[in-house]
């Protein structure tokens, strides 16, 4: 998929969170073709592309806050934020903040990152040239459930359940934030993107037999990293996506997400709970009455 982009003009600064080199390299290369400038936050230090890379521990909220402060100190605009980093099927593990690993890396760190950069996205966007936020979703969210009293899966843990919960949280977050931005009249859009099954290191945590079975299947059923990346780039750069938000995109098409993801009460409760967990003021009440966020103290 090759998106039809805006006519040539000033480069747009894109921030991409990344973990897996194969998929992210494809995203970076594709975005570069669209005349975007890239600054990537990554847990790996070995990329060979004309982009700026900053190491951030996405399992540490302190590390995310430190990055945001350094970024803000540079007085740069921000036009596109791609919340792309993720992990899957990790054995039960806690972060330094005590959060379940999938929940923190896949969702909560991106929730904090987005909110702390939101004012820059709002001031960088304008009518006809909106800033864009892209959240990397997954079809596993259809099987996802969220227990707001046990988001860290301490009662019953399964890596599949933890992963699907984190991806459902991202979709709920996408819809809630889009509604708030639209109600406030801000030139920022938010969409969830499902790249499908992409042959990347995301599957490295499969057990041995599954790894052996995956190899021949991947060449037939899985998308290449470049094919998977094209969906993210479409959401980030396509002219037909200008001003369009609150969508779940699969293969470049607007698709119905899970019924649970449209539960407005759950969206609100998750938002407020997430603000509490990361230390943000609980702004963004429905209807756009309040939309304030603060930087939590170190």
DSSP state string for 225-290:
HHHHHHHHHHHHHBGGGTT--S-EEETTEE----GGGG-HHHHHHHHHHHHHHHT------TTSS-
CA distance 219 to 200: 12
User: Which two three-digit tokens encode residue 103?
Assistant: 């929940």
Strand partners, 132: 80, 189
Question: Which residue range forms the structural domain that includes residue 75?
Answer: 12-278
> Distance between the two ends of the chain, CA-based, in angstroms?
43
Residue 109 within any structural domain of the chain: yes
Phi-psi region of 25 (alpha: psi -120 to 50; beta: other; left: phi over 0): alpha
Q: Which residues are marked as active site?
A: 163
> CATH code at 257?
3.40.50.720
Whether 1 maps to a domain, the answer reads: no
- Any domain includes 287: no
**pLDDT tens across the length of the chain (298 residues):** 444 444 444 568 888 887 544 444 444 444 444 444 556 665 544 444 456 778 888 999 999 999 999 999 999 999 999 998 888 778 899 999 999 999 999 999 999 999 999 999 999 999 999 999 999 999 999 999 999 999 998 888 998 899 999 999 999 999 999 999 999 999 999 999 988 655 455 445 544 544 444 455 545 455 565 666 678 888 998 999 999 999 999 888 999 999 999 999 999 999 999 999 999 975 544 433 233 344 433 3
Q: How many domains does the structure of the chain reveal?
A: 1
pTM as predicted: 0.82
- Is residue 3 included in any domain, yes or no? no
Say if 133 falls within a structural domain: yes
Residue 26 lies in a domain: yes
Asked if residue 5 belongs to a domain, the reply is no
Residue 156 located in a structural domain: yes
């Amino acid at each position: 998929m090759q998106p039809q982009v805006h006519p040539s003009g000033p480069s747009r600064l894109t921030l991409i969170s990344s973990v897996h080199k194969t998929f992210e390299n494809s995203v970076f290369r594709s975005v570069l073709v669209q005349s975007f400038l890239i600054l990537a936050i990554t847990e790996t230090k070995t990329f060979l592309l004309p982009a700026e890379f900053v190491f951030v521990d996405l399992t540490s909220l302190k590390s995310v806050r430190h990055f945001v402060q350094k970024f803000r100190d540079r007085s740069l605009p921000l036009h596109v934020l791609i919340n792309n980093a993720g992990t899957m099927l990790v054995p039960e593990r806690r972060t330094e903040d005590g959060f379940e690993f999938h929940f923190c890396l896949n969702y909560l760190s991106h929730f904090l990152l987005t909110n702390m950069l939101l004012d820059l996205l709002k001031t960088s966007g304008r009518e006809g040239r909106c800033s864009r936020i892209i959240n990397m979703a997954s079809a596993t969210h259809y099987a996802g459930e969220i227990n707001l009293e046990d988001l860290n899966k301490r009662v019953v843990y399964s890596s599949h359940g933890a992963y699907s919960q984190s991806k459902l949280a991202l979709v709920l977050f996408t819809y809630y934030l889009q509604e708030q931005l639209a109600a406030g009249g801000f030139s920022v859009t938010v969409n969830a993107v499902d790249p499908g099954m992409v042959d990347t290191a995301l599957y490295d945590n499969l057990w041995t037999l599954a790894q052996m079975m995956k190899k021949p299947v991947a060449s037939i059923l899985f998308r290449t990293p470049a094919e998977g990346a094209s969906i993210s780039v479409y959401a980030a750069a396509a002219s037909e996506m200008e001003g369009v938000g609150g969508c779940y995109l699969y293969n470049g098409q607007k698709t119905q997400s899970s019924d649970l993801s449209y539960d407005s009460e759950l969206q609100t409760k998750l938002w407020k709970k997430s603000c509490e967990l990361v230390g943000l003021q609980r702004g963004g009440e429905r209807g756009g009455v309040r939309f304030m966020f603060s930087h939590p103290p170190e």
